[in-house]
A and B are shown apart, each in its own frame.
Chain A
């Protein structure tokens, strides 16, 4: 960083009508940063208060909507309409991921983890192993501990696709995180058996 007393004057200008900030410079970092800034500015304009509210408390409206979408997805899943369930979970995910960035990320992680895990299950029910594996991985990324189901689902999908090495490594990591979860231990055994036969 430069001196605390000085700064570099950048060649930027303000569009008088759209209030967007543009630059004549062709530095990529600057252009990207300005795009992010303009996005943030737009999302700041959409809230009532002049500054983003502190992370807590959260506006309960969006949370309620997300919960509702998940429940509808669950109902469809139980009815056996997996395609519909996937659609509902997808909508819920979209809603959770378009939360304003200043809302608590812990909350986003929780919601997203549940939705991805459920969508993975629906994909698995339709034997879409690839999508199931990716969704389960996303779920684990959102919530590493206490998410044994998602660990198991990706392991299962990898096994179904015949990627035994990967499956073994993945389930091993899952066991480190989750302790000796019975389902994961069982899956690991199954993988080992399959490896021996292969």
Chain B
């Protein structure tokens, strides 16, 4: 009876052990994969160039043939730290503006969980980065930590603003060329017009784009139609 029990139980026991074993193997493999994936999650931000420069300056290697590394003047370090703070400001703005959008997208299920994980990690890293910059600033100059981000904020905003202004002012040359061309063609059209019907001297008083159009429209002769055609073409050009 004893023997028979074991033999008949063998099959279900083997079944259960194989089942459990495969589940355990699957779960451990799955977890390992997941851990590896989260460790290699792509960072939110590209490498922090300014931070690398600052830290590279702190750890400057001695030049060839010399034993001692050159000492970096504090003013250079301060400038480098300020540049780092400016880049941090850009990143904080990005994190803040992305947070709302990210959480909404996550709730709707439009983005995967790993994007959210990446985001949280970036946020945490930024906090640490800010703390680090404040500490470094205080070490370089007493109480600078309180104002460095204020200054950095203004620098960031001012740089963007000036770039925009430069872009606007840079249009001037191209626009001017276009306008000269247009004005020349208006003038030549106008002269043709005059040659065509020299009976109406009143038109010559008009010298602006719009007003010469007025003058033309008054008399619905043939040349006015051709003029209108060229005006349209010019508009299409720009």
Greatest chain A CB density within 10 A among B50, B73, B144, B158 is at B158
Q: In whole angstroms, what is the CA distance A191 to B169 when docked? A: 25
Q: Is there an interface contact between B157 and A105, defined as CB atoms closer than 8 Å? A: yes
Q: How far is the CB of B53 from chain A (nearest CB, A)?
A: 6
Q: Identify which of B57, B74, B155, B162 contacts A14 (C-beta below 8 A).
A: B57
A-chain residues with CB within 8 Å of residue B184 when the two chains form the complex:
none
Q: In whole angstroms, what is the CA distance A4 to B43 when docked? A: 12
Q: How far is the CB of A158 from chain B (nearest CB, A)?
A: 11
Q: In whole angstroms, what is the CA distance A45 to B75 when docked? A: 7
Chain B count of residues within 8 A CB distance of the other chain: 68
Q: In whole angstroms, what is the CA distance A159 to B213 when docked? A: 13
Q: Is there an interface contact between A14 and B213, defined as CB atoms closer than 8 Å? A: no
B-chain residues with CB within 8 Å of residue A126 when the two chains form the complex:
none
B-chain residues with CB within 8 Å of residue A130 when the two chains form the complex:
172, 175-176, 179
Q: Is there an interface contact between A54 and B151, defined as CB atoms closer than 8 Å? A: yes
Q: Is there an interface contact between B48 and A1, defined as CB atoms closer than 8 Å? A: yes
B187 at the interface (CB under 8 A from A): no
Q: How far is the CB of B148 from chain A (nearest CB, A)?
A: 7
Which residue from chain A places its CB closest to the CB of B167 in the assembled complex?
A141
A-chain residues with CB within 8 Å of residue B78 when the two chains form the complex:
44, 50-51
A-chain residues with CB within 8 Å of residue B63 when the two chains form the complex:
13
A79 at the interface (CB under 8 A from B): no
Q: In whole angstroms, what is the CA distance A7 to B164 when docked? A: 33
Q: Identify which of A4, A37, A99 contacts B83 (C-beta below 8 A).
A: A37
Interface residues of A in 111-170 (CB under 8 A from B): 112, 129-131, 133-134, 137-138, 141-142, 159-163, 165
Interface residues of A in 168-198 (CB under 8 A from B): 194, 197-198
Q: Is there an interface contact between A50 and B74, defined as CB atoms closer than 8 Å? A: yes
Q: Is there an interface contact between B175 and A133, defined as CB atoms closer than 8 Å? A: yes
A-chain residues with CB within 8 Å of residue B129 when the two chains form the complex:
1, 4
Task: Knowing A14-B57, A21-B57, A33-B49 are in contact, say whether A101-B168 is a contact too (CB < 8 A).
Answer: no
Q: In whole angstroms, what is the CA distance A16 to B66 when docked? A: 13
B194 at the interface (CB under 8 A from A): no
Q: In whole angstroms, what is the CA distance A101 to B85 when docked? A: 14
Which residue from chain A places its CB closest to the CB of B160 in the assembled complex?
A105
A-chain residues with CB within 8 Å of residue B44 when the two chains form the complex:
1
Q: In whole angstroms, what is the CA distance A142 to B162 when docked? A: 9
A41 at the interface (CB under 8 A from B): yes
A-chain residues with CB within 8 Å of residue B75 when the two chains form the complex:
19, 41, 44-45, 50
Q: Is there an interface contact between B165 and A141, defined as CB atoms closer than 8 Å? A: yes
Chain A count of residues within 8 A CB distance of the other chain: 57
Which residue from chain A places its CB closest to the CB of B170 in the assembled complex?
A134
Q: Is there an interface contact between A50 and B141, defined as CB atoms closer than 8 Å? A: yes
Q: In whole angstroms, what is the CA distance A101 to B141 when docked? A: 20
Q: How far is the CB of B182 from chain A (nearest CB, A)?
A: 7
Q: Identify which of B55, B157, B162, B231 contacts A7 (C-beta below 8 A).
A: B55
Q: Identify which of A33, A163, A194 contacts B238 (C-beta below 8 A).
A: A163
Q: How far is the CB of B214 from chain A (nearest CB, A)?
A: 7
Which residue from chain B places its CB closest to the CB of A20 in the assembled complex?
B76
B203 at the interface (CB under 8 A from A): no
B104 at the interface (CB under 8 A from A): no
B59 at the interface (CB under 8 A from A): yes
On A, residues with C-beta under 8 Å from B are: 1-2, 4, 7-10, 12-14, 16, 19, 21, 29-30, 33-34, 36-37, 40-41, 44-45, 50-55, 97, 99, 101-105, 108-109, 112, 129-131, 133-134, 137-138, 141-142, 159-163, 165, 194, 197-198
What would 24 A/B residue contacts be, using CB atoms closer than 8 Å?
Answer: A1-B44, A2-B48, A4-B132, A9-B55, A9-B61, A12-B56, A14-B72, A36-B83, A37-B80, A40-B82, A41-B76, A51-B151, A54-B147, A54-B150, A55-B150, A97-B162, A102-B158, A105-B157, A108-B161, A130-B176, A137-B168, A142-B165, A161-B179, A162-B182
The 5 closest A-B pairs by CB, nearest first: A41-B79, A162-B209, A102-B151, A7-B55, A54-B147
